[in-house]
Amino acid sequence: MIRVPVKRARAVGARAAGPGARVLASYARGEWSVTPGDGGPGAACEISGGDSPMALFVMGCIGADHPGVTVSDHDAARAFKRYLPGL
């Protein structure tokens, strides 16, 4: 698990999924965590796509509106990228 020191006011999470990997990034009880796999409940949105678009998304090179990325909630995905632009 990776701890990321970026503060949020309330709990939030996003699940990123590609053919090669799935991760859940979430903020709760004062800290961010990134866990491999589904990580259980807690995702405000699902972000998915091929391995290349997902790699670019998590590195902050493309946004939630890119045609290679599918999101369940565009507002939540954009908000997530404000807090963790390179994840």
**Cβ neighbour number for residue 82 with a 10 Å cutoff:** 9
CB 25 within 8 A of CB 16: yes
The span from the CA of 41 to the CA of 50, in Å, is 23
pTM above 0.75, yes or no: no
Total domains in the chain come to 1
pLDDT, one tens digit per residue, over 29-62 is: 778 888 887 656 667 788 999 999 998 988 888 8
pLDDT of residue 2: 47
| CATH classification of the domain holding 74 | 3.30.1050.10
DSSP E strand boundaries for 8-54: 12-18, 21-28, 31-36, 45-49
In which domain, by residue range, is 50 found? 2-83
Q: What is the mean pLDDT of the chain?
A: 79
Task: Check pLDDT > 50 for residue 1.
Answer: no
